[in-house]
Structure 1
Amino acid sequence: MIRLTDIDKYYDSKFQRTFVLKGINITVNDGEFLSVMGPSGSGKSTLLNIIGLLDTPSAGNYHLYDEPVLDLKEKKKVEYHRNFMGFIFQAYHLIEEMTVYENIETPLIYKGVKNKDRKAMVADLLDRFNMVAKKDLFPAQLSGGQQQLVGIARAIVGKPKLLLADEPTGNLHSSQGEMIMDVLKTLNEEGMTIIQVTHNEKFANYGKRIVRLEDGLIRTDEIVK
């Protein structure tokens, strides 16, 4: 499904080349649940952004279902984002002028889901995340943890084939975090491919495989026992 070959990401200054990622080779199969770990600055979020077609590597190749995707036109990338990928961002990226309900509903509108079906899908997630009472509030009226829950609901409402999650439980207290990880585990069991970046060893083990980055290099790539 995903194949990265000899991926580098670097920035050049006048006298120096600084690598964020170096020589990354990784394959992710359909239906995998991969956790990416490593210290701050090890390149985890950059790797996720490259896989999500939000950033471009400096060198190397990226194939998605055997299609080279690094040189895709912007319109095609938008199609992938709309119909194939879901994103959970550390910074939420909620639309401030929209209510909780409208934020969660937005990806379904872009996908052309019928109004009746949209209502049922959004209602299901609001109920699952205990946020029915918050549905008419705006992001600024929510705590950081509540905003994170809305961001997660928005990312998964359309059942994307690939979910990219950057610290999905970072702003949640432990019981909320476990609830979200249980939801992700269920989605994975239903066939969704998930790649998560996390600092939490316990939550990393919800994945079936853990890749550890250090200084932009893959140090280990192990199946979870």
Structure 2
Amino acid sequence: MIRLTHIDRYYDSKFQRTFVLKDINFEVNEGEFVSIMGPSGSGKSTLLNIIGLLDSPSEGRYELYDNSVLDLKEKAKVEYHRNFMGFIFQAYHLIEEMTVYENIETPLIYKGVKSRDRQAMVADLLDRFNMVAKKDLFPQQLSGGQQQLVGIARAIVGKPKLLLADEPTGNLHSTQGEMIMDVLKNLNREGMTIIQVTHNERFANYGRRIVRLEDGLIRHDEKQMEARV
């Protein structure tokens, strides 16, 4: 499904080249749940952004379903984002002028989902995340944890084939974090491919595979017989 071959990401200054990722060879099969771990600055978020077509490598090859995607036009990337991928960002990226309900509904509008179906899908997530009472509030009226929940709901409402999650539980207290990880585990059981970046060893173990980055290199790539949670 995903194949990265000899991926480098670097920045050139006048006197030196600084690598963020170096010689990354990485494959993900459909239906996997992969956790990416590593210290700050190890390249985790950059790797996730390249997979999500939000950043481009300096060198290397990226194939998605056996199609090279590095030279895609912007319109084609938007179609992948709209119909194939879901994103959970550390920085939320909620639309400030929209209510909680509207933020969650927006991906469904872009996908062309009918109004009645949209209402049912949004209502289900609002109920699941205990956010019904917040549905008419705007992001600035929410706590950081509540904004994170809205961002997660927006990412999964359209049941994307591939979910990319950058520290999905980073702003949540432990109970909320476990609830979100249980949601992700169930979505994975239903067939969704999930790649998450996390610092949390316990939540990393929700995945069936843990990849550890250090200094832009993959140091370990460990498959687990089953999730340890």
**TM-score, scaled relative to structure 1:** 1.00
Residue 165 (structure 1) aligns with: 165
Runs of 4+ in 1 over 6 A off after TM superposition: none
Q: Distance in 2 between matches of 1:141 and 1:73?
A: 37
Answer yes or no: is 1:197 the counterpart of 2:191.
no
> What root-mean-square deviation, in Å, do the aligned CA atoms of Structure 1 and Structure 2 show?
0.4
Residue 223 (structure 2) aligns with: 223
CA shift for structure 1 position 221: 0.0
CA shift for structure 1 position 78: 0.3
Answer yes or no: is 1:47 the counterpart of 2:47.
yes
Aligned residue type for 2:89: F
Counting only pairs closer than 5 Å after superposition, residues 1-225 of structure 1 correspond to structure 2 as 1-225=1-225
Q: Distance in 2 between matches of 1:220 and 1:135?
A: 42
CA shift for structure 1 position 224: 2.2
SS of match in other structure, 2:82: helix
Q: Distance in 2 between matches of 1:171 and 1:65?
A: 33
Q: Distance in 2 between matches of 1:136 and 1:27?
A: 41
Aligned residue type for 2:175: S
Aligned residue type for 1:99: T
**TM-score, scaled relative to structure 2:** 0.98
Question: What is the aligned-residue identity percentage?
Answer: 88
CA shift for structure 1 position 121: 0.1
Deviations 1:191-214 (A, max 9, x none): 000000000000000000000000
CA shift for structure 1 position 14: 0.2
Q: Distance in 1 between matches of 2:75 and 2:200?
A: 36
Q: Distance in 1 between matches of 2:139 and 2:120?
A: 22
Count of residue correspondences = 225
Deviations 1:143-180 (A, max 9, x none): 00000000000000000000000000000000000000
Aligned residue type for 1:123: A
SS of match in other structure, 2:140: helix
SS of match in other structure, 1:60: strand
Q: Distance in 2 between matches of 1:88 and 1:23?
A: 26
Aligned residue type for 2:113: V
CA shift for structure 1 position 120: 0.1
Aligned residue type for 2:100: V
Q: Distance in 1 between matches of 2:72 and 2:111?
A: 20
Deviations 1:71-90 (A, max 9, x none): 00110000000000000000
Q: Distance in 1 between matches of 2:153 and 2:12?
A: 38
Q: Distance in 2 between matches of 1:42 and 1:208?
A: 21
